[in-house]
Amino acid sequence: MPFLKNTWYAALWLQDLPEDKPFGRVIAGESIVFWRTVDGTVAANEDVCPHRRAKLSVGGVRDGKLTCLYHGLGFGGDGKCAVNPHGPVVDSLNIRSYPVEVQDDMIWVWTGAAELADVALIPQVLAFTRTLPETGFVRGSTYAKASHKLFEDNILDPGHADFLHPYLGSGALSRSKRMIEEGENSLKLNMFQANWRTPAVMVGEFPSPDIMTDQWAEVDWNPNGAMLIRTGATPTGRPESEGIDTWTAHIFTAETETTTHYLYASGQTYKTDDASFNEGMRQGLRYAFEAEDLPMVESQQANLGDRDLMESRPALFAIDTASVRARRLFDRLVAAENAEKVPESA
Ligand code: FES
Ligand SMILES: [Fe+2]
């Protein structure tokens, strides 16, 4: 069983859900259709018609019901069949309804046991967007042909920027000390480097291009692929509050074991009212991801085929400690979830 089920997955940005049409997306191996009910709330249902298994996302919303385009079966957001042009409406025509929650303009869906779906469990990786004006952050999404785990490894190794994105790195992060705090359900990586040259992407925010700065990176990892990285710098020896901070939420929602929906948001403490600066940041983030990270990570998957990275017995270094520990934690959580489903005597 490769996926964690009892978790909230980031499915898509609210703005990407059409007003009047359903939208289908495979999440953690499950085919799910998202749509808006008559009162505008978002519903998430199994994207499989009980009659001949057509995708309901290919159909439409008619008279407030999710309606199969093939032969007209209609469903409410609760999954109950409400319309059957071919016979009686019976319970055997009901489809699954998933717990769904809109938070920070993200549609989160719970793929496990519905009674365990507590919204307090949604990782707060987008909380930084609440305090910023609309012009102060950007969001987006794309798609990648590689495992969510390889992308999570990538973010848990911020030092790769020194090599793969030299304008983002300054050599500080690949040499700085790493501290890892592991929780029951999450992992945090802290990195700090004192008195180092400032990365090109930040240097314009300081009075001199030669300024030496103290630099930090903090990465929060959650087992649903929702991650937050805070990076910043302050003039050497000065408090963090005198420097600059940036936040990027990188959310890697598994589609299959080898494909991933990537959803992101980014903001910073400076120039929050400058929409064109933020548009430049968005383009920079997209470039770093699509032109640099994505081909690199897809190249790993191409070499691995269907194998997991760890099965291939890769060479590992100290820079891999956080990602190896996150992978172990993920495996333990998936194993625990599946152990719960099997009676002990079985
Ligand atoms: S396949 Fe959906 S109504 Fe026939
Ligand atoms: Fe990267």
* CATH number of the domain to which 103 belongs: 2.102.10.10
Domain residues for 320?
Answer: 127-335
pLDDT of 124-159, one tens digit each? 999 999 998 888 888 999 999 999 999 999 999 998
* Cα 333 to ligand 2 centre (Å): 26
- The reply to whether 198 and 301 lie within a common domain is yes
Last residue of a domain, one of 65, 88, 120: 120
Q: Is 54 in the pocket of ligand 1 (CB under 6 A)?
A: yes
Q: Sign of torsion, CA 126 131 137 140? A: positive
pLDDT of 186-203, one tens digit each? 999 999 999 999 988 889
Q: Is the pLDDT of residue 83 over 50?
A: yes
Residue 65 is predicted with a pLDDT of 98
Give the amino acid at 190.
N
d(CA 37, CA 255): 25
Residue 259 domain flag: yes
**What angle do helix axes 148-155 and 294-304 make, rounded to 10 degrees?**
130
């997209």: which residue's tokens? 286
Residue 29 domain flag: yes
Q: Is 71 in the pocket of ligand 1 (CB under 6 A)?
A: yes
pLDDT of 37-54, one tens digit each? 999 999 999 999 999 999
- The reply to whether 134 and 200 lie within a common domain is yes
Residue 343 is predicted with a pLDDT of 59
- The reply to whether 60 and 23 lie within a common domain is yes
User: pLDDT grade, residue 1 (50/70/90)?
Assistant: low
- The reply to whether 167 and 257 lie within a common domain is yes
Q: Please state, as a whole number, how many other Cβ atoms lie within 10 Å of the Cβ of residue 31.
A: 16
Ligand 1, atom 3, lies closest to the CA of 71
Residue 346 is predicted with a pLDDT of 44
Nearest ligand to the C-alpha atom of residue 67: 1
- The reply to whether 114 and 204 lie within a common domain is no
d(CA 228, CA 248): 6
What is the count of structural domains for the chain? 2
Task: Let me know: does 254 contact 10? Beta carbons within 8 Å.
Answer: no
d(CA 89, CA 189): 53
- The reply to whether 68 and 200 lie within a common domain is no
Average pLDDT, the chain: 94
- Pairing mode of beta strands 187-197, 137-144: unpaired
Residue 342 domain flag: no
Mutate to test the pocket of ligand 1, among 52, 83, 86, 90 (most ligand atoms within 8 A of CB): 52
């505008």: which residue's tokens? 40
Q: Is 144 in the pocket of ligand 1 (CB under 6 A)?
A: no
Residue 312 domain flag: yes
Residue 14 is predicted with a pLDDT of 98
Q: Is the pLDDT of residue 106 over 80?
A: yes
Residue 340 is predicted with a pLDDT of 75
CATH code at 280? 3.90.380.10
* Cα 13 to ligand 1 centre (Å): 28
Last residue of a domain, one of 93, 120, 147: 120
Q: Which atom of ligand 1 is nearest to the CA of 53?
A: 1
- The reply to whether 216 and 93 lie within a common domain is no
* Cα 163 to ligand 2 centre (Å): 9
Last residue of a domain, one of 87, 120, 153: 120
Residue 2 is predicted with a pLDDT of 86
- The reply to whether 272 and 180 lie within a common domain is yes
**pTM of the shown model:** 0.95
Give the tokens for residue 211: 């300024």
Look at phi and psi of residue 174 and say left if phi exceeds 0, alpha if psi is from -120 to 50, else beta.
alpha
pLDDT of 259-303, one tens digit each? 999 999 999 889 989 888 888 888 888 899 899 999 999 999 999
